[in-house]
Amino acid sequence: MALSQLKIDPEEALMVGDWPERDVVGAKKLGIRTIFARYGDSFGTVDSGADWDINDVYEIVGIVKELNSV
């Protein structure tokens, strides 16, 4: 897995995706926190199941700052 090659634990990673069934579910199975990119959603997803839903890519900065302050 790419994370092991980078020596990163799944808990330290974030998956950003716009397809809940593929991106969110797959990452969660691996223990990776997830961000659903609503701006790329072409399916009209109501509940993504992600840890965060964002409407703009710049919102990721706030999420990372929040996580780094814990």
The predicted-structure confidence for 43-68, as pLDDT tens digits, reads as follows 999 999 999 999 999 999 999 999 99
57 touches 37 (CB < 8 A): yes
**Mean pLDDT score, 17-28:** 96
Q: Where are the alpha helices (DSSP H) in the chain?
A: 2-5, 25-29, 59-68
pTM of the model: 0.91
To the nearest whole number, what is the mean pLDDT of the chain?
Answer: 95
**What is the number of residues in the chain?**
70
Residue 70 pLDDT exceeds 90: no
Report the C-alpha gap between 34 and 49 in whole angstroms.
9
Domains with residue ranges and CATH for the chain: 9-68 (3.40.50.1000)
Dig out the tokens for 59 from the structure.
């919102």
Query: In whole angstroms, how far apart are CA 14 and each of 5, 7, 44?
Result: 16, 14, 23
